[in-house]
Every structure is written in C-alpha cells, then in structure tokens.
Amino acid sequence: MDRATDQPGPTGADRQAAVWTSADGRNWQRLRPGPQLGELFDVAARPGGGFLATGVDWSHDPDSGDGALLASRDGHQWDRLTVTGLDGPGPTALRRLLVPGPDGGALAIGTRLDGAVTRSGIWTSADLQGWSEAATLPDAGAGTASAWGLTRLGGGSLLVAGAASDLNGTTTPLLWTGRAVSSLLPRGVRGGPGTIYAVAVHGTAITAIGARSSRTGPIASAWTLTLP
C-alpha cells in the first residue's frame, strides 16, 4: 500500500520500468527503457564497456511476467535482448547479475514459481541469450528463503544475501556462501529480524544493506559482516 495516499500501487502490466542516470550523483535524469517492462531490479557494468539490466517483461505473460535482460552502451539507450530459459508458466524474475560469472558468461539470482511457492534460484548463461537454472537455493528454517544480493568474495567464492522466513512470515537476514553454484550453504546473520537486499565486498570487509523489522514498520539498516 502507498502510505501517502493509502491506495494500492500498480500491479502486473501496469508497472513501468525506469532507469536513472547522473553525471555527478546529485542531479538525476529518469529514462523509460521501453514499454511493457514491469520493473528493473539490477544493473551491472560489462567488462568490455556498457551495461546490462535485468527485471521483468510483461509483453508475453501479462499476468505473471517473464525474466528480461536489457543492454546499453551508454546507460541512456537500452535494447531488450532476446533470451531463452526465463519464460514459461508462472512468474520468473532475475534480481541480481554477476558479470562475468565464475566460468565466464553471466550468473544471476532470481525467483520462479515452484508449485504454489516462489523460490530463489541461480541462473547461468554463457552468451547472455540462453539461460538455464543451475541450482535452487536451500531454505533455512521452516519457511521459504528469498535471495536479493549477489557478489564474489576475494578468494573467488560466491556470496548471496537475502532472508529466511518462518511460518508466521517473519524474516531474518541470511547469507549463502560456497565455491560453486551447486554447493552454496545458508548462514544466519545476527541482529534480529530483517532482510538484506544488497551486499558488497571491499578487501576483507563485507557490508550489507537492507531493512530491519520493527513494530512501526521496516527501518533502513546496514550490517558489517565477517565470514570465517
């Protein structure tokens, strides 16, 4: 719900994606990358120059949406790439990109519908066109885990961040770490209820940002993490 107007926000195909660019970090210009793109979740710099963005495409599945990938040389003009492996029945969305992935190409975390449950998984692609789901992230606890953040540690291991939920819907911060996509294991994070949405590594320091739960609603929060 929109707290200012107490009216429901746009849903499904009524959502519109946007990109903001800035030359100085103070003044921002909003761009509309194209029609029928529901939302964009992440942007990544390509090693050879330009950018990739990922989100949801409503053009073929207006009720649920399919995963979408966009490319741009300058951050202003965006082209939707033709991809396979991100469509099908039920909603699919890519939330974070890692370019290049551990074996080159690209790696992404996202969500897909598994029966009546939305689960987080990892997709890989060698050419940015054909995508395949490489693994489903294991849950931690009685509820379903949700992944939002993705990065690589200094030694080459992967780090995924998000939250675990219990049967009452309460979320607690959660990490997954491992040398390979198929061997990621969950690790709890101290600090009480909340969700991690993004994570970054600088040297040996790991910083995560997200929201901490409180009786009055979510509170923007940051965590400083140390892994053994």
Percent of the chain clearing pLDDT 90 (strictly above):
29
pLDDT value for 160: 94
pLDDT value for 215: 81
pLDDT value for 130: 92
pLDDT digits (tens, 9 = 90+) for 38-48: 788 999 998 88
| Contact between residue 194 and residue 221 where contact means Cβ atoms under 8 Å apart | yes
Q: Calculate mean pLDDT across residues 116-128.
A: 88
Q: Which residues contact 10 (CB under 8 A, 6 or more apart)?
A: 16
Q: Round to whole Å and give the CA distance between 228 and 224.
A: 14
Strand bridging mode 219-225 / 66-72: unpaired
Domains present along the chain, CATH in parentheses: 1-136 (2.120.10.10), 140-228 (no CATH)
Higher pLDDT, 69 or 16: 69
State the greatest distance between any 2 C-alpha atoms of the chain, in Å, as a whole number: 48
In angstroms, the first-to-last Cα distance of the chain is 40
Q: DSSP letter at 130?
A: B
Higher pLDDT, 91 or 31: 31
Question: Which residue type sits at 82?
Answer: T
34-48, 55-69, 189-203: the lowest-pLDDT one: 55-69
Q: What is the dihedral of CA 46, 220, 93, 155, to 10 degrees?
A: 50
Radius of gyration of the chain (CA): 18
Burial 175-202 (b: 16+ CB within 10 A, else e): bbbeeebeebebbebeeebbbbbbbeee
Q: Which two tokens stand for residue 125?
A: 């692609």
**pLDDT range class, residue 143, cuts 50, 70, 90:** confident
Give the predicted TM-score (pTM) of the model: 0.83
Write down the mean pLDDT value for the chain.
83
**pLDDT range class, residue 1, cuts 50, 70, 90:** very low
Q: DSSP letter at 18?
A: -
